[in-house]
């Protein structure tokens, strides 16, 4: 289990007094999230890897786009057509103000309608953790299906085999679910039909007072090109 979840108490799937939805939590966190996680080395490396493999003007979806920084801002600055979606109204408003070169929508990945031509890449850095595991599986399948042949999914999660675990995160009560690292990689390969090109575990301490270390799993994956086997990384 991730260090960030140590000491938490498993409560099941039901609600609880004071436990926030994802929209409520991130409406309250606002810019504090960017201050805490905006310089996450593994995330910056993942975006750098992605931009080095995209053609100019690629269509990229940023799921759980937050304040727009750093991910959407870096992708837009690299000349890509970026759409960010987030369930938090506050985050969408901040992102629109901070990253005018991208488009942001208040939308849930479980309900998002992609363009008919799909996406060349999808970024999904930690947006699924407050969903039940069955919804996370469905969301991963949806994101994979939106990729064009050869398209890239760059994602990150907290690798923890938990369902409906109540935690306190950034001073707020939340309920989280997740998968072990091996199970998450299996979902990408078996449920989504993607080739995992790279994955790594790292530990990051958020830049907030009394921030607890979090274990993160970053994955780079690709949909097979049309009419042939996947290329090398």
Q: What is the pLDDT of residues 89-116, one digit of tens each?
A: 999 999 999 999 999 999 999 999 999 9
> How far apart (Å, rounded) are the C-alpha atoms in residues 41 and 151?
23
CB-based contact 106:70 (threshold 8 Å): no
3-state secondary structure of 86: strand
The H or E element that residue 137 is part of is helix 133-145
Q: Determine the average pLDDT of the residues in 216-224.
A: 98
Q: How high is the pLDDT of residue 2?
A: 52
Look at residue 231 and tell me whether its pLDDT is greater than 90: no
Cβ neighbours of residue 190 closer than 8 Å, sequence gap 6 or more = none
b/e per residue 145-169 (b: at least 16 CB within 10 A): ebbbeebbbbbbbbbbbbbbbbbeb
CA count, 13 A, side-chain hemisphere, 110: 12
Question: What DSSP character marks residue 163?
Answer: S
Look at residue 1 and tell me whether its pLDDT is greater than 50: no
Average pLDDT, the chain: 92
Q: How high is the pLDDT of residue 13?
A: 37
Q: How high is the pLDDT of residue 207?
A: 87
Q: How high is the pLDDT of residue 9?
A: 42
CB-based contact 86:104 (threshold 8 Å): yes
Across 54-63, 143-152, 208-217, least confident range = 208-217
pTM summary value: 0.91
pLDDT in tens, 127-141: 999 999 999 999 999
User: What is the percentage of the chain residues whose pLDDT exceeds 90?
Assistant: 86
Q: How high is the pLDDT of residue 227?
A: 60
Higher-confidence residue of 178 and 232: namely 178
pLDDT in tens, 160-180: 999 999 999 999 999 999 999
Q: How high is the pLDDT of residue 212?
A: 87
């Amino acid at each position: 289990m991730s260090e960030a979840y140590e000491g938490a108490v498993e409560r099941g799937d039901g609600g609880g007094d004071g436990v926030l939805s994802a929209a409520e939590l991130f409406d309250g966190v606002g810019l504090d999230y960017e201050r805490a996680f905006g310089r996450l080395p593994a995330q910056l490396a993942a975006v750098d890897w992605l931009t080095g493999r995209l053609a100019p003007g690629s269509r990229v979806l940023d799921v759980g786009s937050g304040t727009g920084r750093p991910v959407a801002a870096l992708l837009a600055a690299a000349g890509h057509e970026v759409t960010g979606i987030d369930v938090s109204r506050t985050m969408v408003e901040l992102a629109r103000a901070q990253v005018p070169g991208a488009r942001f929508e208040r939308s849930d990945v479980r309900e998002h309608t992609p363009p008919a031509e799909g996406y060349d890449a999808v970024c999904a850095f930690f947006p699924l953790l407050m969903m039940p595991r069955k919804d996370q599986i469905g969301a991963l399948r949806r994101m994979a299906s939106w990729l064009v042949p050869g398209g890239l999914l760059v994602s990150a999660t907290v690798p923890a085999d938990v369902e409906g675990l109540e935690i306190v995160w950034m001073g707020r009560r939340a309920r989280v679910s997740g998968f072990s690292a091996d199970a998450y990689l299996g979902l990408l390969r078996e449920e989504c039909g993607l080739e995992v090109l790279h994955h790594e575990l790292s530990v990051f301490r958020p830049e907030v007072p009394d921030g607890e270390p979090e274990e993160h799993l970053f994955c780079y994956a690709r949909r097979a090109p049309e009419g042939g086997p996947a290329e090398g990384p």
